[in-house]
Structure 1
Amino acid sequence: MNATSRARSRLGLVGGMMLAAAIVAAAVLALSGCAPQAAAGRAAEASAGTGPADELRLGYFANVTHAPALVGLEEGLFADALGDTKLTTQVFNAGPAAIEALSAGAIDATYIGPNPSINTFIQSAGQSAHIVAGAAIGGAALVVRDGIDSPADLEGTTLATPQLGNTQDVALRSWLASEGFATDTTGGGDVHITPTENAQTLTLFQQGGLDGAWLPEPWVSRLLADGGRGAHVLVDEADLWHVGAFPTTVLLVRAEFLAEHPETVRALLEGHVASVAWLDDHADEAPAAINAALEAETGKPLANEVISRALEHVTFSVDPHAETFETLVANGLEAGTQKDGSIDGLFDLRLLNELLEEDGTEPVSAGGLGEE
């Protein structure tokens, strides 16, 4: 049994029921206006650290853009670094669902897109979580059907994103606004956006129920290979950023857990750094390792041409590219998917930079938005 399967089996039915109950409880607190205050209270109670945690609960997605998580599990890199700390995992489809679990205390850390990380930080007035490392850059695009060859052809079409407020959802809404299209969060406007689970998006596109989708890898490559209908890339998100560098995945840790168990977070980061290095050093082996992890999660591996194309469009790095986050905030506000607020303090890169310094590697910057 590989590391991914072992981690998933530990959760079991009971873990899933606890997660569901915790998320419902968090939603009730949020509606009553108590969630930020509760998070603040927990953070205030956290001392300088209470030693290694008995258990670390880690979230991630079954996406190529989450390959550091997939490889870290598949190759046992997290288990080696965590030692006696038990590792359990939970797989999510998109960022907002992972944030619900993190806010409810059902998980302690998660690989996630930047926009949900921004949202939870702002909504909790800086008390909920901190980005402790980057994970992936690039690997997102708008794929459309035949007959859509320019932005002007999108009027009246229906496009999908993984979930309302997730990183690709914000990117699509912001780009459409820059092209003069109005959208809203209920699917109205000049272009209709319908947040849809990734696998369902592929099916709906094949059946003609969608005109396109803004997705992360490997779903971009899957639509191109399996979607039919003349599927092609209309917008590669890399073309919208300076030198094509935009963060797709970061590693986010619950603030209370970071305060109480810095040793465990450091160990998680050791596994994460090792995983990113493994991906860099084993380019020939990476597709098979990633595919093995994806097969364990989804029941089916990716076709060789799909995973090869996907990896051509993604770069793995521990640098979160903090310099892009003010732009991401502006995009979220323009998209109408987040509240206005400060992201000062969003990053805590101290433990990561300690590890990088020990390895003789240049530290990464928090861009004036936190500790480094």
Structure 2
Amino acid sequence: MHGGASALSIAAAVISLVALMAPTSWTGLPPIHWGRNEVRLCVALASPLAAVLVSSLAHWRIVPSTLDSPSRFLAAVSLMLVLCRSSTRSLIWADLSFALGAFASLGIMLLVPRDWGHGRLGSPFLNPIHFGDIALALGVLSVLSLNWWKKDSLPVRILKIVGLFAGLATSLLSGARGGWIAVPIVVALSLYVRSHGKSRMWKVLTPLAVAGILASVYVFSPTARGRIDVISSDLKQYSLGNKDTSVGVRLQLYEAALTLIREHPVVGLGGDGFRDAMNSLAEAGALTPLAAQFGKGETHNQLLAYLANYGVVGGLALLAIYVVPGMFFWRCANALTGPAGRAGLMGLTFVVAFSIFGFTVETFDLKATVAFYSTVVAILAAISSHNGASSTRRSNPAQ
């Protein structure tokens, strides 16, 4: 439902906050003992909102709408703190959620799709790029959840494997090629982490099998082949002076963003500053009218968007959203076994995938995508740090 992701994230945050404030005799939750990991994650989740406020106050201009999406990161803090202290039984409910999410995405694409133009399909309210990227992430998490909490039965294993293909199929139908860049990277990362204790044959044959699958998708899928081949065509058109192609518009916006960042490096232009600069840049000939029109919607690069609007302060806040959870999940994936270690691997691939998605689209300009990212990070971080979800340690990770 339109607005459902945002509403659910707020509801979860409010309920979690009440549970944290209520007497422990009512909730059964142990008191909070702040460790370094929890502090770092909480600070990282709060940093985007803080960066927006700092930039806004520096310009003596607060744009209320720009506070909305960053606040969803902060809303995930209370959820994470509650789940860290909840019973293991409540965490096990996460097991099939990613597979079911991937199936739901494909169901929407097949039953109630919306053509957003040029045959690009998405949901009725979420554009093809964001919808395809989220479906792809759900598919990857689905297959990584195999034997997560226990050895899965055959039907559950089939469900989770098919969930991967449901996510991939949805991504292909959306034509969101920016997200496809993440596939070989997260596959290589997952194989590297999972290679501990595996035979040499497994380490050789598994990457070859994955490479074969990816190559077959390019060969046998006209959609994938056409979307990839058009990149070289757009670049050629750009070199010949035709800048109003899909790739050309992005390159123009990137150049404009870099110019504005150099002019306003510390606190940026302020809320909606990049959007407000489009008309003047078009009049100066720095952008074509079409690129300026697209730029009023987004910068098509998450890091450049934060740097242009909020300066270095915003750039550091965005990196914190990726790097701090990523480092935490990396330690858990390499140091822990059992459900906690697997949650660490899932969280690591999820964060890396979303950071790659942000190269070609603003992943956090919509409340729905922020709510999705921050909630999944909160859930997987809670499981990774939950004592009941960790069976053994390979080494001693930083606490």
Q: TM (normalized to structure 1)?
A: 0.25
Please identify which structure carries the higher strand content.
1
Structure with larger RCO (C-alpha < 8 A, sep 6+) = 1
Q: Which has the larger radius of gyration?
A: 2
Q: TM (normalized to structure 2)?
A: 0.24
